[in-house]
Amino acid sequence: MNRRYFLSMVGAVAAFAAVSKFTGLAGALLPSDNHAATGAALAANAMERGGAVANGNLNDRTTKAKGIKKVIKTDAEWKQILTPEQYSVAREKGTERAFSSPLNDIHDEGIFECVACELPVFSSKAKFDSGTGWPSFYEPIAKESVQEVVDKSLWETRTEVLCARCDSHLGHVFDDGPRPTGLRYCMNGVALKFVKS
Ligand SMILES: [Zn+2]
């Protein structure tokens, strides 16, 4: 192929690609571009639906947090905000010692917020004395305020409860709670902040 022929070929391919793109044919002709476009469209759709996209992952958990704008910080930033005990439970999924939290004995009316981002997560209205030594509630303040995730870290499969806004670990939920829900949200008091009404 001589140089002139080569250049005209390049020109023709480029022109065709430009036209195809314009007419919407590019997707069929340029599969990699098409993938990128589809990915971007999916992300845009997810954003439009109000589900925040955390860490670039579109998963089930983010869709449950519909309407809540994510708070995303680095571990170093969380360490500056939280005490070592709060950090260990909220960011490293630790569990406080039973009967160690003063929130266990709080029976005043008020709101329990996520200690890390202050999102209201439980109301005193749903608090009950479970006798376990951990603050317990039969429901979150709103379905969207917490995320529930299957946790297989111990011998039994449990359901982990996370703050829907900052993904802090709050505790676990079990199905041996009182009426009306039959659920027991077993929370770490150190992951919560009580705000009296
Ligand atoms: Zn939070």
- Can you tell me the distance from the alpha carbon of 136 to that of 131, in angstroms, rounded to the nearest whole number? 9
- Can you tell me the distance from the alpha carbon of 67 to that of 195, in angstroms, rounded to the nearest whole number? 23
Q: Which of 114, 117, 163, 186 is catalytic?
A: 186
How far away, in angstroms, is 30 Cα from ligand 1 center?
42
Q: Is 186 a catalytic residue?
A: yes
How far away, in angstroms, is 121 Cα from ligand 1 center?
8
How far away, in angstroms, is 70 Cα from ligand 1 center?
9
How far away, in angstroms, is 154 Cα from ligand 1 center?
24
Residue 35: what pLDDT?
39
Domain ranges in the chain are 3-48, 75-196
Residue 58: what pLDDT?
37
Residue 139: what pLDDT?
98
- Can you tell me the distance from the alpha carbon of 66 to that of 82, in angstroms, rounded to the nearest whole number? 26
Q: Which two tokens stand for residue 66?
A: 């519909």
Compare 4 and 99 and report the one with higher pLDDT. Answer: 99
Range 176-194 average pLDDT = 98
The predicted-structure confidence for 85-125, as pLDDT tens digits, reads as follows: 999 999 999 999 999 999 999 999 999 999 999 999 999 99
How far away, in angstroms, is 109 Cα from ligand 1 center?
21
Query: What backbone torsions phi and psi does residue 117 show, to the nearest 5 degrees?
Result: -125, 0
Confidence of residue 68 (pLDDT cuts 50, 70, 90): confident
The predicted-structure confidence for 12-60, as pLDDT tens digits, reads as follows: 444 444 433 433 333 333 333 433 433 344 333 333 333 333 333 334 4
**Could you tell me which CATH number the domain at 75-196 has?**
2.170.150.20
Range 144-156 average pLDDT = 93
How far away, in angstroms, is 131 Cα from ligand 1 center?
26
Confidence of residue 149 (pLDDT cuts 50, 70, 90): very high
- Can you tell me the distance from the alpha carbon of 50 to that of 63, in angstroms, rounded to the nearest whole number? 8
Residue 155: what pLDDT?
87
